[in-house]
Amino acid sequence: MEIRLDGKTALVTGSSRGIGLAIAKAFAEAGAKVMLTSRKEEALIEAVKQVGGESDYVVAHSGNAEQMSLAVDKTIERFGSVDILVNNAATNPYFGAMIDISLSQARKTTEVNLEGILFTTSFCWNKWMKQHGGCVLNIASVGGLSVEWGIGYYNVTKAALIHMTRQMAGEMGPRVRVNAIAPGLVKTYFAKVLWENAGEQIAKRLPLKRIGEPEDIAKPALFLVSDLAEWITGAILVVDGGAMVIPSGGVV
């Protein structure tokens, strides 16, 4: 079944690489006009070349409300609408016991992973979607559904994002659908330390015997923002190769 997004405009944050870039590519291939955002212009220029189709970029920090408001404005000016928002950008400036995180590190994580998503969604809602309808997709994490050492506060923000997704879905319907994907370990620059050092070991424990690729997230993202998912809102789709169903004794 071919999924099409013809006539739609998508704004994808954190889309110069990794999952965001894969989603932008999938949307463009499906006929959408795509606006990419990230902090670094050089990376965005290269990303737009890879995405092709009707795509453009705007340099914006996802945790900066003023910059993201301008990004929404530029998307509407450039393409005439903002029908789809993918909140993909995230940060994790700290690794270690959560109890020892500094105030500045915690605030930076919250600023991008929660506040940025809330206000970017609010801008899309007030500037376009409230009147015309649309779809929001948040990229959460399986970490928001479990407990693990090292990235505890990052996972706290992802758990909050999962709840925020449901709250948004309740408030923004029926004109706007809001869903989330919770990826497991995916081969991205963001998670490079994990998959380079423990990727093979983790893959052996998974029922599907491999860690994810960015395209593994882009495919369900395309479905969730398409008309095929028109009666789905407030859903959290786990895409993790089966990591959440591994019994305590491991896979036999």
Q: What confidence tens digit (pLDDT) does each residue in 47-62 have? A: 999 999 999 999 999 9
pLDDT, average across residues 150-175: 97
Q: Does residue 245 sit within a domain?
A: no
- pTM score, whole prediction: 0.95
Cis check: omega of the bond before 174, within 30 degrees of 0: yes
The yes-or-no answer on residue 94 being catalytic is no
Q: Which of 26, 4, 3 is nearest to 15 (CA)?
A: 26
Q: Which domain holds residue 22?
A: 9-239
Q: Give the contacts of 248 (CB within 8 A, at least 6 positions apart).
A: none
- Residue 104, in any domain of the structure: yes
- Helix, strand, coil percentages, rounded to 5, for the chain: 50, 15, 35
> Total domain count for the chain?
1
In a domain, 252, yes or no: no
252 pLDDT above the threshold of 70: no
* Better-scored residue on pLDDT, 243 or 200: 243
Q: Of 57, 153, 154, 189, which is the active-site residue?
A: 154
- Identify the residue whose tokens are 């190769």: 241
In a domain, 2, yes or no: no
pLDDT digits (tens, 9 = 90+) for 118-129: 999 999 999 999
Instruction: Kindly report the CATH number assigned to the domain that includes residue 13.
Output: 3.40.50.720
What is the average pLDDT value for the chain, to the nearest integer? 94
- Residue 94 in any domain: the answer is yes
Q: Is residue 249 one of the residues assigned to a domain? A: no
Query: If DSSP codes are grouped into helix, strand and coil, which group holds residue 86?
Result: strand
**114 occurs within a structural domain:** yes
The average pLDDT across 174-195 equals 85
Concatenated DSSP letters for 177-189? EEEEEEE-SB-SS
CA dist., res. 7 & res. 216, Å (int): 24
Domain assignment of residue 3, yes or no: no
